Amino acid sequence: MTNERLEIMALTDNINMLTPIGFRLTINATEFANVEYFCTSVSLPSLSLSPIPIPFRNRQGVMSGDSIEYGQFSMTFVVDEEMKNYLEIFNWMERNAHQGVETKDATLSILSNQNTTNKQIQFLEAIPSQLNELEFNTQTSAVEYLTCSVTLEYDRFKFVT
């Protein structure tokens, strides 16, 4: 084993892999308890830092940009029979459309293999921008529970732990 490989291995003592099923989403436990409970997937958004082209001696170089662009934050939840979780997001969007913008901070907790919080990512000043359709269909052969996706726009995200 080379010295370079030994240095890389020394960076972490924890060799456990990150599992895709260990997460919890919190927006506001009193207003969005049903969305939080039935949440089945979230996607940590992309980041992009657009390069700035720099001409130099008949060649095109690049320099790092100074503005980070954040991708959309999306989550999916199983819709409960009374549609309470769907209505939580629906009502938030209605209030934003008719009463002024109401932002919320959302926290994505990444859990360890022991189901304890390992990292937390906070999405600041979030608002829902899209609540996807629910398809009712009598043609299905097996019962598949309805899921719904929500897209949130936000100011930025940061790691808080």
In a domain, 1, yes or no: no
How far apart are the C-alpha atoms of 147 and 159, rounded to whole Å?
28
Residue 90 within any structural domain of the chain: yes
Q: How many CA atoms lie within 13 A of 32 on its CB side?
A: 20
Q: Does residue 6 fall inside a structural domain?
A: no
Give the pair of three-digit tokens for residue 37. Answer: 């409970």
Average pLDDT over residues 2-21: 68
Beta bridge partners of 126: 104
Alpha-carbon span 141 to 76, nearest angstrom: 23
- Dump pLDDT digits (tens) for 49-71: 988 888 888 888 888 888 899 99
State which residues form the domain around 21. Answer: 16-46+72-159
Query: What pLDDT was estimated at residue 60?
Result: 87
Residue 140 lies in a domain: yes
Is 77 domain-assigned?
yes
* Tens digit of each residue's pLDDT (9 = 90 or more) over 138-159: 888 888 899 999 999 999 999 9
Total domains in the chain come to: 1
Domain presence at residue 60? no
Position 9 in a domain: no
Rounded CA gap, 67 and 50, in Å?
A: 7
pTM above 0.75, yes or no: yes
Q: Which helix (H) or strand (E) holds 120?
A: strand 117-131
Q: Is residue 7 part of a domain?
A: no
